[in-house]
């Protein structure tokens, strides 16, 4: 029967986690129809069936880790249905059939017990495993539970729920003597503090691993500067209504200014647009700028392509589209790979200053922060309240020297403080 296998995802992605089965055993499947949602290190992707028919078997459960090329389901010929009740019946029937192959029914309970004991002994002698779902086996290994000691339901297939039930019964039996002893002794210690323990999502684990790799494998430094946002805020105020009319409702935000300023600075300091590959340094001749987007599942960084060729409105549109796709969990792998530089804006959460961590193999990342009105010395005799923003550039010192890092950040500052010059640059 045709197997559904995990397809090639991306060059750096070799495995994923079953997030949700979109089809169940017994359901009809069309060719090219999605049957499972797979969570990868970057985005969720849907895996489709290459054949039409009926979903006969699931070879992995939700939460299981699967590798590229691994078979995860079997599609057979015929027509099925889309009701969970029928799926359950077919699953139970299949499990019963498998059970009947190993053990013939008998008329008396005594004979059945005898036959079962012989079958179990024979199974153990032959090194065969208990009939259990893949997720139940994995779960039992994690919990240190012997599957042979777990009592399944009537269909003789051990599932995760049976493992849980077996563990609870074991814990109850172990805790009863301890409870009796505790009644005899006065309480001398405070009860343990309440905690919630839960498994990290694949994306969080991957992010944690990559951030640690960046920290361990780069000579990362951060340099700071501050920007007087007066002129760019005045420009936005003067032009925002006309900009919306001219560009079909698109709003003029700060991100397009900083993106265009970053492109100009990258052209002036090409080392910042580079990365190390083994013993080689690769200087990129394109300007795909990553924009960090906060979602329920964590921070994602999709890339706005060819920012040097886009105007302010096109950049604002693209940022808005990518942010919406990120929050709707519709980003594709193409949106998340092969960027050259990243901008993150902690200011939207109220951050006044931070040291952002470099994104992957890139050489640097620009951090924006809150705009805060502060007294600023205009000259030796004048102090004015101005809207100020701290900016940070974290960079890999193996590629970028301090002089270039400071010059890059100074270029950003000068262009944002003089937005007319930025328009000429772009």
Contact yes or no for 298/312 (Cβ under 8 A): no
10 Å Cβ neighbour count for 84? 12
**How far is it, in rounded angstroms, from Cα 370 to Cα 374?**
12
Tokens standing for 116?
């079962």
Residue 25 has what DSSP assignment?
T
Q: Write out the two tokens for 107.
A: 């008329």
Handedness of CA 46, 48, 53, 59 (dihedral sign): negative
DSSP 215-238: HHHS-EEEEEEEEE-HHHHHHHHH
Cα–Cα distance measured from residue 274 to residue 271, given in angstroms and rounded to the nearest whole number: 5
Tokens standing for 175?
A: 């805790």
What is the largest distance, in Å, between two alpha-carbon atoms of the chain?
A: 105
Catalytic-role residue among 97, 317, 401, 421: 401
The residue written with tokens 């959460």 in the block is 349
Question: Cα separation of 426 and 416, whole Å?
Answer: 13
Q: Is 247 a catalytic residue?
A: no
Q: Which of 234, 246, 334, 397 is catalytic?
A: 397
Nearest to 392 by CA among 355, 343, 342: 355
CB-based contact 349:299 (threshold 8 Å): no
Determine the length of the chain: 426
Residues 163 and 152: their CA atoms lie apart, in Å, by: 9
Q: Is 401 a catalytic residue?
A: yes
Contact indicator for 326, 302 with CB cutoff of 8 Å:
yes
The vertex-408 CA angle with 402 and 409, nearest 5°, equals 95
Number of H helices, E strands in the chain: 10, 19
CB count in 10 Å sphere of residue 104: 10
Residue owning tokens 């939700």: 62
Beta-bridged to residue 293, according to DSSP, are 300
Task: Give catalytic residues, as residue numbers.
Answer: 397, 401
């Amino acid at each position: 029967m045709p197997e559904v296998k995990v397809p090639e995802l991306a060059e750096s992605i070799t495995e994923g986690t079953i997030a949700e089965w979109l089809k169940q055993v017994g359901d009809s499947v069309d060719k090219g129809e999605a049957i499972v949602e797979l969570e990868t290190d970057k985005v969720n992707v849907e895996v489709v069936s290459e054949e039409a028919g009926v979903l006969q078997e699931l070879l992995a459960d939700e939460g299981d880790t699967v590798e590229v090329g691994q078979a995860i389901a079997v599609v057979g010929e015929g027509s099925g249905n889309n009701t969970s009740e029928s799926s359950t019946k077919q699953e139970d029937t299949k499990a019963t059939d498998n059970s009947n192959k190993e053990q013939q029914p008998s008329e008396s309970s005594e004979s059945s017990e005898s036959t079962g004991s012989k079958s179990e002994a024979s199974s153990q002698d032959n090194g065969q495993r208990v009939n259990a779902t893949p997720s139940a086996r994995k779960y039992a290994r994690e919990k240190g539970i012997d599957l042979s000691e777990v009592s399944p339901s009537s269909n003789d297939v051990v599932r995760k729920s049976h493992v849980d039930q077996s563990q609870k019964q074991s814990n109850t039996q172990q805790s009863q003597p301890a409870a009796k002893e505790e009644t005899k002794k006065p309480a001398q210690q405070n009860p343990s503090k309440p905690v919630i323990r839960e498994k990290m999502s694949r994306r969080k684990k991957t992010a944690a691993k990559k951030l640690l790799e960046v920290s361990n494998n780069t000579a990362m430094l951060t340099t700071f500067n501050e920007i007087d946002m007066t002129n760019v805020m005045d420009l936005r105020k003067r032009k925002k209504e006309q900009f919306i009319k001219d560009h079909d409702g698109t709003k003029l935000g700060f991100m397009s200014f900083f993106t265009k300023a970053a492109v100009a600075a990258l052209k002036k300091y090409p080392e910042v647009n580079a990365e190390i590959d083994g013993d080689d340094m690769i200087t990129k001749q394109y300007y795909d700028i990553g924009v960090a987007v906060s979602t329920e599942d964590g921070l994602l960084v999709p890339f706005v392509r060819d920012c040097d060729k886009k105007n302010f409105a096109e950049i604002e549109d693209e940022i808005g589209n990518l942010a919406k796709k990120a929050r709707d969990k519709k980003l594709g792998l193409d949106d998340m790979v092969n960027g050259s530089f990243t901008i993150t804006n902690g200011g939207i959460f109220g951050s006044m200053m931070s040291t952002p961590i470099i994104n992957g193999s890139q050489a640097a990342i620009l951090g924006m922060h809150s705009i805060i009105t502060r007294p600023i010395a205009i000259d030796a005799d004048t102090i004015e309240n101005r809207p100020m923003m701290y900016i940070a550039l974290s960079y890999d010192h193996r590629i970028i020297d301090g002089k270039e890092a400071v010059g890059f950040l100074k270029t950003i500052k000068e262009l944002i403080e003089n937005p007319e010059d930025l328009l000429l640059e772009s």
